[in-house]
Amino acid sequence: MATPVIMPKQGQSVESCIISQWYKKKGDSVKTGDLLFSYETDKASFEEEAKTDGVLLEVFYNEGDEVPVLYNVAVIGQAGESTAEFSPDGFAGNASAADAPEATSPVVQAAPVAVATVSAASADGKIKASPRARVMAGKKGIPLASVKGTGPNGRIIVRDIEAAQPVAAVATPVQAPQSPVAAASVSEYGNAEYEVKKLTNIRKLIAKAMHESLQNSAQLTHHLSADARKLLALRETVKKAQKADPAFPNVTLNDMVCWAVIRALEKNPEANSQFLGDSIKTFKQVHLGMAVDTPRGLMVPVLKNAGDFSLKGLSNHLRALAEGCRKGGIDPELLQSAAGSFTVSNLGNYGVEMFTPIVNVPQVAILGVNAIVQRPADIGGGVTAFVPYIGLSLTYDHRAIDGGPATLFLKEIKTQIENFQVHID
Amino acid sequence: MPKSQFIHPKDVRKAGFIEFGKIPVNQYSKKLSDERADYSDADLLRIYHDMAVIRNFEEMINAIKISSEYNGVKYNHPGPAHLGIGQEAAAVGMAYTLGVEDYIFGSHRSHAEILAKGMSAIAKLNDAELTEIMTRFQNGNILRVVEKGFKGSVKELAMQFLLYGTMAEIFARSTGFNRGLGGSMHAFFTPFGVYPNNAIVGGSGDISTGAALFKKVNRKPGIVVCNIGDASMACGPVWEGLVFATMDQYKKLWEGEYKGGLPLIVNIMNNQYGMGGQTNGETMGYDIAARIGAGLNPEMMHAERVDGYNPLAVIDAYRRKRAILAAKNGPVLLDVLTYRYSGHSPSDASSYRSAEEVEAWKQHDSIIAFGRELAKAGIATETQLDAIRNEIKTQITDILKMATDDAVSPLLADSETIGQMMFSNGSADSMEEGRTPDVLMPLEENPRVKQIKGKVRFHTDAEGKPVSKMKMYQLRDGLFEAIIDRFYKDPTLVAYGEENRDWGGAFAVYRGLTEAIPYHRLFNSPIAEGAIAGTAIGYAMCGGRALVEIMYCDFLGRCGDEVFNQLPKWQAMSGNVIKMPVVIRVSVGSKYGAQHSQDWSSLVAHIPGLKICFPATPYDAKGLMNAALQGTDPVIFFESQRIYDVGEQFHEGGVPEGYYEVPFGEPDVKRAGNDVTILTVGSTLYTALKAADELQAKYGVEAEVIDARSLTPFNYEPVLQSVRKTGRIVLASDASVRGSFLNDMAQNITQLAFDELDAPPVVVGSRNWITPAYELERAFFPQKEWIIDAIHERILPLKGHTASTNWSDAEILRRNKHGV
């Protein structure tokens, strides 16, 4: 009996994934554990291994295809076994417009490819559409495959795209504005003077999130700085310890600031909240988001229950999250802004002295960490000396927090930093 | 057909005989001593020198072609070289008496004539004139090359200039007389009276007749010599040129000082072979070429065979013939007998003639014989003659070094320059400023002008009611206004063609012109489309503006060489020395079946170097004709017999009374719409408008109708703008669809607006058949139903529409498979 390979479901909100690359092709022998294909969601990429031995009998989707989760992607079995029963509904290779079943499940309705082939693909599986209709569909985010062509020989023409717009919006309210099929099919172009690249999905998401944040909340930023001598002293201790024991965790200044922030949040829970329009959700635990710069774009993974960890543990967990983002494979659930209660964004490494981070809504505040700058300060005894100060920029949503509490919270972070006392050994 | 000449049956039905007079053959019998009254020693030595220069020049080219080396100078010349070794006496004799103002035209084998005429001109021009010419020509480019380090007289410098300019041209150098764009077969130099040499056999036959017409009509001094091969006497354009040159009307109908024959000598350089075909004995039947004169007019063109191996015999003939031309009794036909030892080209193995024959002619060699005469008469010793020849050899070797040195004689650096030379893009009210045009009455007294004054210049009156045809300003009136306006502005303008004068043109465009314009500016041509176009080309080459008519587009084939090879090319081939203000009106027929109803605008659009327009409204017809007649480029001006009587429906306020131009290359939106673009050429505009009406009424589809107006040049921007809006385009014209220019437009639109298109552009043209009789035309020419069906079937299915014509893929494949 042949075994289907299904598209795994990566997280609650993931409804479909795009196949990035096939490592095996139809007819190849596979062993359990062999890499079959890689795939990606809006936010992360994954690899799927074979879970059984046999021959890759059938491949239902190609690289670049969007596949609804839990759909059959391929079939592994013994040579000669039938694969027809595993064919996903609407699969272009074996379903014609006439005999394809009506799409019924909510998942199928939300998946453009499945809808697609039911109505528009021709006998050879190619979609006929005029160039103008293609461009228009791309702009409006309408998957061509979901459109019925009324032009000569069933060609999709402009009027079909115009007519398709409201239908598509009803059928796939969530997917329509960010249709991965349309995005994937649009090529790059340009000329000698410039290059135009279509947005990647992650870039679209970032753009949307940032724009919505600024449009839908009342943000302002306070800046102050904290004497960082204690942090730097501890950092020296860490470095020394690492020299003695290479396995000693590399506790960074950022880890220390996060530690301080967690402590401050515990004392000021109104900043450890989400603003939900008609209510404010205040968390009992700190779920700390951390902005991570990756080759694919900005990601903000969340460390759940961050307050539970020791400084070393915090450091290890934050590092693991960041690596997960850079390499792919992070649980997409942890990338949702709703998963976090507060976010830290550190640009200090780059020498930024002050910035206004954007709140990761629905969270109500975000801390920007800046570079350490030597500033003259009264160090007591009538002596003024240069002291390293670390800059802190707190952006908060004034809908949720007023200026007074926000300032007190920021001040608390400063206090935590200036009185940093963690024994590390 | 002039009413003044009464054809009385009693006269023409009388019995009788045609009497031919005698045509002299080699009648020159003078000895050198007999000629001493006319020639000084220096004159005779110059003749010898000029012949020796030509011989040496040709031998040098021959050596370069055959062995890639001459006198120690190595060079490879891949281009053509049609040499005339042996023909020197004919060339020098022809040129000797000619003045600078006398023009010669030639053939592919005309190096000898360029040099002979050039040397003749140098002998006649004074130092100041020569310096002026050399300094001004191409801003002194050639002079700078030859004067560097040169120590000698101005005349000697001019000699260097002539040899170098010719040689550099042959070797395609930018410092050649025509910037290297003419080459061996086309080189010429107008300041010395050397006009284009033509690589199409017989090409100069009608062109030089046009040059003579220019001299005559504009009362310019000088004569025109058409140097043409014996074999070219078989060519239609030559025959047509001869017929055009011998028309009775010059002597019988032209008036006053314009009365009399053309100042033209048709000089057959009779080397007795057309490539390898023997003209006497094999490929022609005239026996002696001079006999042709007897077939052309009662004067037998004063034809004569002259011994072209004796320079003095040729000179003698030219002196006598010139007197005939001066007495306005031309034209003249000379059969100058000569022989080339060199092959047709260096690849010629002379398989068609015996070595003995060539040897026999060498025994008669003109240079040796003439040198012997000079020695015998004590004018020069053999040693002195040897010295002349050696000096020439050194000179030609030196110039060869210069002409093949890339540093001195570079090739055209930027080949895009050729593109810039295709059109002169000039704008000139008149081709000869300051001269008053010859006309017969003030413009406002002209009966047609008066009649048009009373017409309504729009298709509806002030109340919006349609104007009757009789009262309406029609397309033909627009053409007339532009043309008569130019007749009163440009004294050089001539118009001719079949039935252009008393008849007023077959389609009444010229009605009223006869009253206003004297015979020499407006006349009936013979039914000879080749000569109609060819003479216009020669006329324009000399500095005039010509407007000629091809009565039916179908007759374009009759002037194929003129329209395809001559008219479009000479501006660029001359290196922009020559301008070509020729407008050929071509009337596209209707109702007259297979040989009188074809739209061949696509044929000429394929040819680089022509401007092509096809107006469909009175406003555009007048504006484009004004632009055509103001310009300095060749224009093929298409008109349609279907719409000579249409009124102006588009231009607000009607057709302006004053002068205005519609620029070439600008399409015009005749009706705005958002749903589909229909681009038309010519009278198909009106078919498209009917289709647009129906699309709107029945299907709610708004068509934008664009009239191309021009084919070349063509600005695609307005069309692309429309397509960006509509996303759909149909192209329609009456041309047969296979190879129609519309396909070119469709292809360009596709590549320029691919992503804007909602369907591939569809071309609606006539079928690939003969044009059937009027009764069957609906099956052949695009109908409004075809346009609607094409949209429905291939672009935008129309709700409720049923196509009556077949636009399926299968039908397209079938038609092409069967070639119909």
Tell me whether B172 touches chain A (CB under 8 Å). Answer: no
pLDDT in tens, B206-250: 999 999 999 999 999 999 999 999 999 999 999 999 999 999 999
Please give the pLDDT value at position A1. 74
* Domain annotation covers residue B18: no
Q: What is the dihedral of CA B782, B785, B790, B796, to 10 degrees?
A: 150
Contacting residues of A for B758, CB less than 8 Å apart:
130-133, 151, 157-158
DSSP result, A125-183: SPPPB-HHHHHHHHHHT--GGG----SGGG-B-HHHHHHHHHHHHHH-TTTGGG-HHHH
Q: Which domains does chain A have, with CATH numbers?
A: 3-86 (2.40.50.100), 106-198 (4.10.320.10), 205-418 (3.30.559.10)
Contacting residues of A for B794, CB less than 8 Å apart:
152
Q: Select the more confidently predicted residue: A244 or B472.
A: B472
Q: Which whole number is the average pLDDT over B94-114?
A: 97
Please give the pLDDT value at position A329. 74
User: What letter represents residue B717's amino acid?
Assistant: E
Q: Show the beta-strand stretches assigned E in A263-319.
A: 273-275, 280-282, 288-290, 292-294, 297-299, 302-303
- Is a pLDDT exceeding 50 seen at residue B284? yes
Q: Could you tell me the pLDDT band of residue A334, with boundaries at 50, 70 and 90?
A: confident
Please give the pLDDT value at position A189. 57
Q: Could you tell me the pLDDT band of residue A185, with boundaries at 50, 70 and 90?
A: very low
Q: Are residues B588 and B699 in the same domain?
A: no
Residues A124, A397, A398, A425: which is the catalytic one? Answer: A398
Mutation site for A-interface testing, chosen from B758, B798, B806, B807 by largest number of A Cβ within 10 Å: B758
Contacting residues of B for A133, CB less than 8 Å apart:
758
The strand pairing partners of A366, in sequence order, are A343, A395
Q: Select the more confidently predicted residue: B663 or A117.
A: B663
- Is a pLDDT exceeding 80 seen at residue A193? no
Q: Are residues B607 and B740 in the same domain?
A: no
Q: Are residues B222 and B355 in the same domain?
A: yes
Q: Are residues B553 and B510 in the same domain?
A: yes
- Is a pLDDT exceeding 70 seen at residue A190? no
Please give the pLDDT value at position B77. 94
DSSP result, B680-733: E-TTHHHHHHHHHHHHHHHH---EEEEE--EEES---HHHHHHHHHHS-EEEEE
* Domain annotation covers residue B2: no
Q: Which ranges in A178-245 belong to alpha helices (H)?
A: 180-185, 201-216, 229-244
Q: Is the peptide bond before B331 cis (omega within 30 degrees of 0)?
A: yes
| A398 in catalytic set | yes
Q: Could you tell me the pLDDT band of residue B110, with boundaries at 50, 70 and 90?
A: very high
* Domain annotation covers residue B673: yes
Q: Could you tell me the pLDDT band of residue A183, with boundaries at 50, 70 and 90?
A: very low
Calculate the average pLDDT of chain B. 96
Please give the pLDDT value at position A40. 80
Q: Which whole number is the average pLDDT over A300-310?
A: 91
* Domain annotation covers residue B482: yes
- Is a pLDDT exceeding 60 seen at residue B40? yes
Contacting residues of A for B759, CB less than 8 Å apart:
130, 151-152, 155, 157
First to last CA, chain A: 57
Contacting residues of A for B756, CB less than 8 Å apart:
131-132, 135
Residues B596, B651, B792, B801: which is the catalytic one? Answer: B596
Contacting residues of A for B725, CB less than 8 Å apart:
none
| A255 in catalytic set | no
Given the cut 0.85, state whether the ipTM is greater than it: no
CB contact under 8 A, A135 and B759: no
Distance in angstroms (rounded) separating the CA atoms of residues A400 and B596: 88
Please give the pLDDT value at position A121. 52
Residues of chain A with pLDDT > 90, as a percent, come to: 37
Distance in angstroms (rounded) separating the CA atoms of residues B790 and B694: 14
Tell me whether B756 touches chain A (CB under 8 Å). Answer: yes
- Say which of B755, B793, B795 has its CB closest to residue A135: B755
Q: What is the side-by-side strand order in the sheet with A288-290?
A: A219-227, A384-397, A365-378, A342-346, A288-290, A302-303
Please give the pLDDT value at position A120. 46
- Is a pLDDT exceeding 90 seen at residue B205? yes
Range of the domain at B547: 443-640
pTM exceeding the 0.90 threshold for the entire prediction: no
Last residue in a domain, options B379, B407, B435:
B407
Task: Give the distance from residue B747's alpha carbon to the nearest chain A alpha carbon, in angstroms.
Answer: 15
| Chain A positions touching chain B (beta carbons under 8 Å) | 130-135, 150-152, 155, 157-159
CATH number at B472 reads 3.40.50.970
Tell me whether B727 touches chain A (CB under 8 Å). Answer: yes
Q: Are residues B568 and B676 in the same domain?
A: no
* Domain annotation covers residue B118: yes
Please give the pLDDT value at position A215. 86
Query: Among A372-376, B364-368, B369-373, B390-394, which is the least confidently predicted range?
Result: A372-376
Tell me whether B757 touches chain A (CB under 8 Å). Answer: yes
Tell me whether B797 touches chain A (CB under 8 Å). Answer: yes
Residues A211, A308, A378, A402: which is the catalytic one? Answer: A402
Residues 386-445 of B with CB under 8 A from A: none
Contact B607, B620 (CB under 8 A): no
Please give the pLDDT value at position A66. 82
- Say which of A132, A150, A155 has its CB closest to residue B756: A132
pLDDT in tens, B740-788: 999 999 999 999 999 999 999 999 999 999 999 999 999 999 999 999 9
Q: Select the more confidently predicted residue: B12 or A98.
A: B12
- Is a pLDDT exceeding 60 seen at residue A106? no
Mutation site for B-interface testing, chosen from A157, A186, A196 by largest number of B Cβ within 10 Å: A157
Q: Select the more confidently predicted residue: B555 or A16.
A: B555
Query: Among A207-211, B419-423, B756-760, which is the least confidently predicted range?
Result: A207-211
- Is a pLDDT exceeding 90 seen at residue B484? yes
Contacting residues of B for A159, CB less than 8 Å apart:
796
Q: Which whole number is the average pLDDT over A223-245?
A: 90
Contact B185, B108 (CB under 8 A): yes
* Domain annotation covers residue B424: no
Q: Which whole number is the average pLDDT over B253-282?
A: 95
Task: Give the distance from residue A103's alpha carbon to the nearest chain B alpha carbon, in angstroms.
Answer: 29
* Domain annotation covers residue B684: yes
Q: Are residues B587 and B687 in the same domain?
A: no
Please give the pLDDT value at position A191. 61
Q: Are residues B588 and B694 in the same domain?
A: no
* Domain annotation covers residue B438: no
Nearest CA in chain A to B789: A152
Q: Are residues B201 and B96 in the same domain?
A: yes
Q: Are residues B495 and B378 in the same domain?
A: no
CATH number at B709 reads 3.40.50.920
Q: Which whole number is the average pLDDT over B697-724?
A: 98
Task: Give the distance from residue A132's alpha carbon to the nearest chain B alpha carbon, in angstroms.
Answer: 5
Q: Could you tell me the pLDDT band of residue A98, with boundaries at 50, 70 and 90?
A: very low
- Is a pLDDT exceeding 90 seen at residue A64? no
* Inter-CA distances, B628 with B548, B556, B785, Å: 12, 19, 35
- Is a pLDDT exceeding 90 seen at residue B723? yes
Give phi and psi for B296, each to the nearest 5: -105, -40
Q: Which whole number is the average pLDDT over B359-384?
A: 96
- Is a pLDDT exceeding 70 seen at residue B193? yes
CB contact under 8 A, B755 and A150: no
pLDDT in tens, B641-695: 999 999 999 999 999 999 999 999 999 999 999 999 999 999 999 999 999 999 9
Please give the pLDDT value at position A208. 82
Please give the pLDDT value at position A337. 85
Q: Which of B758, B751, B755, B764 is nearest to B676 (CA)?
A: B758
Q: Total structural domains in chain B?
A: 3
Please give the pLDDT value at position B629. 98
Please give the pLDDT value at position A199. 75
Last residue in a domain, options B359, B386, B407:
B407
Last residue in a domain, options B623, B640, B657:
B640
CB contact under 8 A, B756 and A131: yes
Q: Which whole number is the average pLDDT over A141-157?
A: 91
Contacting residues of A for B752, CB less than 8 Å apart:
none
Q: Could you tell me the pLDDT band of residue A165, with boundaries at 50, 70 and 90?
A: low
- Say which of B755, B758, B793 has its CB closest to residue A157: B758
Q: Could you tell me the pLDDT band of residue A124, with boundaries at 50, 70 and 90?
A: low
Q: How many A/B residue pairs have CB atoms within 8 Å?
A: 36
A148-152, A268-272, B747-751: range with highest mean pLDDT: B747-751
Contact A337, A366 (CB under 8 A): no
- Is a pLDDT exceeding 60 seen at residue A123? no
Q: Which of B730, B795, B751 is nearest to A158 (CA)?
A: B795
Contacting residues of B for A131, CB less than 8 Å apart:
754-758
Task: Give the distance from residue B717's alpha carbon to the nearest chain A alpha carbon, in angstroms.
Answer: 18
Please give the pLDDT value at position A122. 55
Contacting residues of A for B793, CB less than 8 Å apart:
152
CB contact under 8 A, B758 and A135: no
- Say which of A131, A134, A151 has its CB closest to residue B797: A151
Q: Are residues B600 and B724 in the same domain?
A: no
Contacts of B383 (CB under 8 A, 6+ apart): none
- Say which of B727, B793, B797 has its CB closest to residue A150: B797
Q: Which whole number is the average pLDDT over A382-397?
A: 92
Please give the pLDDT value at position A295. 79
- Is a pLDDT exceeding 50 seen at residue B119? yes
Contacting residues of A for B797, CB less than 8 Å apart:
150-152
Nearest CA in chain A to B727: A132
Please give the pLDDT value at position A207. 84
Q: Which two tokens stand for residue B607?
A: 């040819």
First to last CA, chain B: 42
Please give the pLDDT value at position A202. 73
Q: Which two tokens stand for residue B287?
A: 């026996």
Task: Give the distance from residue A153's alpha carbon to the nearest chain B alpha carbon, in angstroms.
Answer: 9
Q: Are residues B103 and B241 in the same domain?
A: yes
CB contact under 8 A, B758 and A132: yes
Please give the pLDDT value at position A256. 93
Task: Give the distance from residue A149's alpha carbon to the nearest chain B alpha carbon, in angstroms.
Answer: 11
Q: Are residues B586 and B728 in the same domain?
A: no
CB contact under 8 A, B727 and A150: no
- Say which of A132, A152, A155 has its CB closest to residue B727: A132
Residues of chain B with pLDDT > 90, as a percent, come to: 97
